[in-house]
Structure 1
Amino acid sequence: MLKAVIFDFDGVIADSEPLHFSAFKETLSRYDVELTQKRYYNEYLGYTDNECAKAISADFDLGLDKAGIDRLVQAKTALFDNLVRAESTIIDGVCEFVDRIKGRGIRLAVCSGALLGDIELMLAGTDLTDTFEIIVAADHVQRGKPDPEGLLLVLQRLNETGPGDILPKDCVVIEDSRWGLEAASAARMHTIAVANTYPYEELKPLAEKTVERLDKLTLTDLQSICSN
């Protein structure tokens, strides 16, 4: 029975992946690292900022210690925040889909590899402010996707703040990448892919349902997936 919908944020709710790439690219130029968009999307997109910085440090032989990683992430975050303030990032069709399922006894949450401050900044002043009961961000977990830690923490917090009867099989997770879909499968939750970041045909084998954009989904679609 459908009881909760858990959204990824970057690439599902907000068109923020290009902004993350731009912020990382500019930050890394200070380290004489040329990060291409293709490499970022193929190798680093599913990581938290901290995991991304660690991987890049290793891959490009930067030799950064924990303090160095922290400085890189702080510089990237400052650039990202400036980019977010300069433009709206909510993806077309998201608000329409949320309106379609809100108020029907379905609990809404976010599980993201982004930092909580970045998520709150992008939601501020939009129609989605205060929409999500629970937001689990990179700040709250030790392991990012494809590890299911974040999704299981969302489930735990939903049950702590409600009747406490939600099982993994009662949750639909909406993701835009294989990392997120793998995390949802590992958490034994249902999966929907939205082809905002990666091609439809690439995501289709990884999810129970794949759509081009969120407003193509109906409440019946969600209920049908949870009945399987």
Structure 2
Amino acid sequence: MSHLTVFDLDGTLVDTPRAIVETFTAAFGALGVAAPRPAAIRATIGLPLERAFGDLLAAAPDGELVTHAVRHYQRLYKEIILPRARELLFPGVTEGLDELRARGIALAVATSKFYASADALLRSAGLRDRFALVVGADQVSRPKPDPESGLLVLRTLGVAARHAVVVGDTTHDIHMAGAASMRSIAVTYGVHGAAELATASPTWVVGTFAEVVARLGAELANSTHGIEVGREKEELAG
């Protein structure tokens, strides 16, 4: 039986929210448009870029203005965020991912970033080889909070939803998990605080990445123990 953890990226593995706001602001400057307040930009983190810029510009997500904004963002992202990727990792992420893999837990990423941007960030942070699969917003028809990204991960890796846990810092991640019948760990150190995360009914809420690793380890141990007990009962019955 396989066990899987599906991670969000921004605000969960990498502390990018402040840099994302900086990049959005620079993209608005490149457009010649006044940038919204940082709080307004931050509130869109976790959404696909087209929807985020559409909301902030009060424009159609598939319109020309948003298309130009996304292109500016993607160009500036390479200049502002990628060079800082390693220093932006949350404490304990690299060691924690290695521990989970050593325990036999498969790891994946489901993100609202386009695949190329997510792949580049993970490579710049030195994490890409830890993940069996990365799913970006441009690889599905309906990104988070729709369950399509999570279901694609489950289907591709051949893992049942009951053996998978989603880890994320926004309600979009938690809603995706619930709609895909997966359990979830909400982390409070990212974009959404504990009160907002609670509205999405996560299975667990934690405050550090170390707690994420501990919770996943405990669930794996409980699952393994349950299997062993079941086998012992079958042997006694036989």
Distance in 2, Cα, partners of 1:56 & 1:124: 29
Q: Which residue of 2 aligns with 1:163?
A: none
Q: Which residue of 1 aligns with 2:35?
A: 34
The structure-2 alpha-carbon separation of the partners of 1:149 and 1:140, relative to structure 1 and needing over 3 Å to count, comes to same
Contact 1:89 1:122 in 2 (8 A): no
Superposed displacement of residue 200, structure 1: 3.1
Contact 1:3 1:171 in 2 (8 A): yes
Q: Which residue of 2 aligns with 1:162?
A: none
Q: Which residue of 2 aligns with 1:107?
A: 106
What secondary structure does 2:12 align onto? Answer: coil
Superposed displacement of residue 13, structure 1: 0.9
The structure-2 alpha-carbon separation of the partners of 1:22 and 1:11, relative to structure 1 and needing over 3 Å to count, comes to same
- Percent of pairs identical after alignment? 25
Amino acid at match of 1:34: A
Q: Which runs of 5+ in 2 are unaligned?
A: 227-238
Work out whether 1:203 is the aligned partner of 2:194.
no
CA RMSD of aligned residues (A): 2.3
Q: Which residue of 2 aligns with 1:193?
A: 186
Q: Which residue of 1 aligns with 2:72?
A: 75
Superposed displacement of residue 20, structure 1: 1.8
Work out whether 1:54 is the aligned partner of 2:67.
no
> TM-score when scaled to structure 2?
0.82
Q: Which runs of 5+ in 1 are unaligned?
A: 160-165
Superposed displacement of residue 33, structure 1: 3.0
The structure-2 alpha-carbon separation of the partners of 1:46 and 1:123, relative to structure 1 and needing over 3 Å to count, comes to closer
Contact 1:196 1:213 in 2 (8 A): yes
* Larger RCO (CA under 8 A, 6+ residues apart): 1
Work out whether 1:221 is the aligned partner of 2:218.
yes
Report matched runs for 1:112-151 at 5 Å.
112-151=111-150
> TM-score when scaled to structure 1?
0.85
Superposed displacement of residue 179, structure 1: 1.2
Distance in 2, Cα, partners of 1:64 & 1:133: 31
What secondary structure does 1:139 align onto? Answer: helix
Amino acid at match of 2:88: T
Instruction: Compare the two structures and name the one with the higher helix fraction.
Output: 2
Amino acid at match of 1:158: L
The structure-2 alpha-carbon separation of the partners of 1:82 and 1:98, relative to structure 1 and needing over 3 Å to count, comes to same
Report the count of equivalent residues. 217
Deviation larger for 90-99 or 167-176: 90-99
What secondary structure does 1:4 align onto? Answer: strand
Distance in 2, Cα, partners of 1:126 & 1:46: 19
Find the partner of 2:170 among 168, 172, 177. 177
